[in-house]
Amino acid sequence: MPQSQLIHYALSRPGGREVNEDTCKYTNHKKQFCYVVADGLGGHGGGDIASQTATNATITTFRRWPSISSNSLKSIIHNADTAIRKHKETAPNLANMHTTIVVMLSNGKHAVWAHIGDSRLYHFRAGRYINRTRDHSVPQVMADAGDISERAIRYHEDRNRVLRSLGDERSLAIDSISKPCVLQRGDAFLLCTDGFWEHVLELEMEAELAKSNTPEDWIKRMVIDRLLRRAPSTYDNYTALGVFVQ
């Protein structure tokens, strides 16, 4: 397959909160692409610093060693985790900060992705949702065990209990790495935080994708027609980054 063109659009908002602890970044280096979304946790100013630290480290690592491989993803996740841990050592008041992360790398022919926590990547092909990352969370474990439905994850009382994050006290297991995906024209990807996917169902993502000619159209339709009509006044920060393969 010849190299496809990738176009993207990203949107990040504080929602009903005073501080936006989400961060998203993108870089194109030597015709290779890196997209990253992170949702900071910890409060007291630590969440935003954690997500910014992780995404900055991601972009720095990728630009230093631009490669579309599982090893590259492992290095990116490891370096982002290390950057947060080092920051915590120099700022004791931020000892509780940590963050989720989801990263996608592509050269226009293939894509690979990885995540930590409950920030997600969705893959759509021929206009249909075909795959997503599996959350490192309590309700995801319950859904995988058949105790609750996939849809019930959004409404479960423990939906914010993340079992794995960057900067966590526990040693980090980096095992949620996709196999290389051969891209097809018309593929679409959505990287997003829980503040987004909790309010937009997969069928709604498909419906808005069918109406959209660009990633910007898609993201804005999902926010305006779905998320903002459904979210409560105290809703969380939300971030979404859409990628179209052309």
Percent of the chain clearing pLDDT 90 (strictly above) = 91
DSSP secondary structure, 68-131, as one string: -SHHHHHHHHHHHHHHHHHHHHH-GGGTT-EE-EEEEEE-SSEEEEEEESS-EEEEEETTEEEE
Residue 167 has pLDDT above 80, yes or no: yes
Indicate the pTM of the whole model. Answer: 0.96
Task: Flag whether pLDDT at 106 surpasses 70.
Answer: yes
Look at residue 63 in the predicted model and tell me its pLDDT.
97
Nearest to 157 by CA among 169, 171, 142, 172: 142
pLDDT in tens, 196-232: 999 999 999 999 999 999 999 999 999 999 999 999 9
pLDDT (0 to 100) of residue 32? 96
- pLDDT (tens digit per residue) in 139-150: 999 999 999 999
Report pLDDT for 14: 96
Mean pLDDT computed over every residue of the chain: 96
For residue 228, give the H/E element and its range.
helix 228-230
Q: What dotted CATH number matches 6-245?
A: 3.60.40.10
The pair of three-digit structure tokens given for residue 76, joined into one six-digit string: 């990116």
Averaged pLDDT, 23-43: 94
Write the pLDDT tens digit of every residue in 40-91.
Answer: 997 666 999 999 999 999 999 999 999 999 999 999 999 999 999 999 999 9
